Amino acid sequence: MDNRIVNNQEQAFDIQFWKNVFRLNTCIPAIIDDFDATRQRVSATPAIRGKFVNSNNEVSYIDLPKITNIPLAIIKCADIKLTYPVEIGQNCTLIFSQRSIDNFIMAGGIQNPFDTKNPTKTQIRCMDMTDALCFPGVITDAETITNYATDAIEIRSADNTTKVSVKKNSLKLLQGNASIEMSGGNITMNADNISIKGNTVIDDIKFTSHVHEYITPAHPGGTGDTGGASSPTS
């Protein structure tokens, strides 16, 4: 906001022009203050302060007001949706719609902009701060991601100990010392312990109930009757 004393017409035009520009909101980084997981709505405070110049040409900076009831933007198509945790204090980007989004958010589909009973006398909202959409996640120099993968799409924990990594020719799941990697039609598993529950079939043989035949010094020519992978008893 600029409240300087106007000395000439050129300065008056310049001040009025920028006042009009400042009424239009495009996008701004913000900090998430609250998250409603049921309705997928956030409250956020813009992370860039507003500038105020008074009649004495004194400059001050003020926090912009918190914006509430902001729809959360996620990646989704058909029946597939990508959800993610939303934390208080997390960075986000607020995108401001060029028209009011009230009716669209309430009903979906193609809607009229929000209006009163007498639309001929109403000015439709345009790039207003109340018409924000929240896109979580903006990386600043204060919180860059370590070991950022430049050759894969990853879903990972901050410390990189748990992740799903997708590359052109491989897929890897990692959690601590355990990993499963699929590459070139092969599967490699590594873990301290591997437990398999349920009916397991290998080459059409039911792993937990098929009968082994064996020949041992203790049972020459014998036929075993043990199930699964258990060893024969003497």
- May I ask the CATH architecture of the domain 1-144? Beta Barrel (2.40)
The conformational region for residue 217 under phi > 0 = left, psi -120 to 50 = alpha, else beta, is: alpha
**Residue holding tokens 């302060």?**
49
Picking from 88, 87, 97, the residue whose alpha carbon sits closest to that of residue 27 is 97
Return the domain boundaries, the chain.
1-144, 145-195, 196-234
Measure CA of the first residue to CA of the last residue in the chain; give whole Å.
92
- Alpha-carbon gap, residue 69 to 101, rounded angstroms: 12
- 145-195 matches 1-144 in CATH topology: no
DSSP 3-state assignment of 99? coil
- What pTM was estimated for this model as a whole? 0.73
Shortest CA distance to 30 belongs to which of 99, 133, 101, 105?
A: 133
Looking at domain 145-195, its CATH architecture is Single Sheet (2.20)
Tell me how far apart the alpha carbons of residues 189 and 68 are, in angstroms, rounded to a whole number: 47
Residue pLDDT tens, the chain, 234 long: 555 556 677 777 776 776 777 778 999 999 999 999 999 999 999 999 988 888 888 999 999 999 999 999 999 888 899 999 999 999 999 999 998 898 999 999 999 887 767 767 666 788 889 999 999 999 999 999 999 999 999 999 999 999 999 999 999 999 999 999 999 999 999 999 999 888 888 877 776 666 666 555 555 555 555 445 544 444
